[in-house]
Chain A
Amino acid sequence: EAQVTQNPRYLITVTGKKLTVTCSQNMNHEYMSWYRQDPGLGLRQIYYSMNVEVTDKGDVPEGYKVSRKEKRNFPLILESPSPNQTSLYFCASSQWTGGGEKLFFGSGTQLSVL
């Protein structure tokens, strides 16, 4: 089954404790991206990756890191989480075709930073 898998689904942590949210896709997509969703703000893009070793900043990259060492994986790293990073995070992957670039989203990770 084609899917984007995020882990963990829920995460509670404390300020300053490094964490990683994993994202993996099994569709051989070149494009992957991370978003955070906050009430009243919609989804905001954090980082995206066009292919292995190619990443770029989205609209809200501060406080986040990413890496793309393999095509299928695109982890999101918070080196020193702060309470303002409490949010719902989504990973997505896509492949551009003549019909457009439909995103496939993971199930989301609800992060709380205390």
Chain B
Amino acid sequence: ELKVEQNPLFLSMQEGKNYTIYCNYSTTSDRLYWYRQDPGKSLESLFVLLSNGAVKQEGRLMASLDTKARLSTLHITAAVHDLSATYFCAVQETSGSRLTFGEGTQLTVNP
């Protein structure tokens, strides 16, 4: 059974600071996704990472994938209040279409 663990689960940070969210998973996969969810809203796709060493960046967010370590990171640079949301990573098994999500990281950026 594929397990996906995120940490931290809760993150409170000040505007302007940097931080990293970690996503560990338990089985071989080279397909990892990051999603954002605002309170009371649906999920929005942020990044799709498909190979070892993949790095994607969008604004203040950068995601990377290390398939050998079974680890993805979501790095936040110079946080702003608008980034406050819950961030989920999701891992897709190489052999099929089952998708397993992490528990989510609730990020709060304070002025």
**Is B truly associated with A?**
yes
Q: Cβ of A35: which chain B residues have Cβ within 8 Å of it?
A: 101
Q: How large is the interface on A (under 10, 10 to 19, 20 to 34, 35 or more residues)?
A: 20 to 34
Chain B, Cβ-Cβ closest to A45: B99
Interface size on B, residues (CB 8 A): 24
Interface residue? B42 (CB, 8 A): yes
In the bound complex, CA of A103 to CA of B106 (Å): 21
Interface residue? B43 (CB, 8 A): yes
- CB of A43 within 8 A of CB of B88, answer yes
Query: By DSSP majority rule, is chain A's interface helix, strand, loop, or mixed?
Result: strand
Contact of A100 among B35, B44, B48, B98 (CB under 8 A): B48
Interface centre among B4, B33, B49, B102 (most CB of A within 10 A): B33
Tally inter-chain residue pairs, CB-CB below 8 A: 62
Interface residue? A107 (CB, 8 A): yes
Q: How far is the CB of A74 from chain B (nearest CB, A)?
A: 13
Q: Cβ of B97: which chain A residues have Cβ within 8 Å of it?
A: 31, 33, 48, 50, 56
- CB of B31 within 8 A of CB of A100, answer yes
With A42-B88, A90-B42 in contact, do A102 and B98 touch (Cβ < 8 Å)? no
Q: Cβ of A108: which chain B residues have Cβ within 8 Å of it?
A: 42
- CB of B42 within 8 A of CB of A44, answer no
Q: Cβ of B43: which chain A residues have Cβ within 8 Å of it?
A: 43, 90, 92, 103, 105
Q: List residues of chain B with CB under 8 Å of any chain A CB.
A: 4, 31, 33, 35, 41-45, 48-50, 88, 90, 92, 96-104
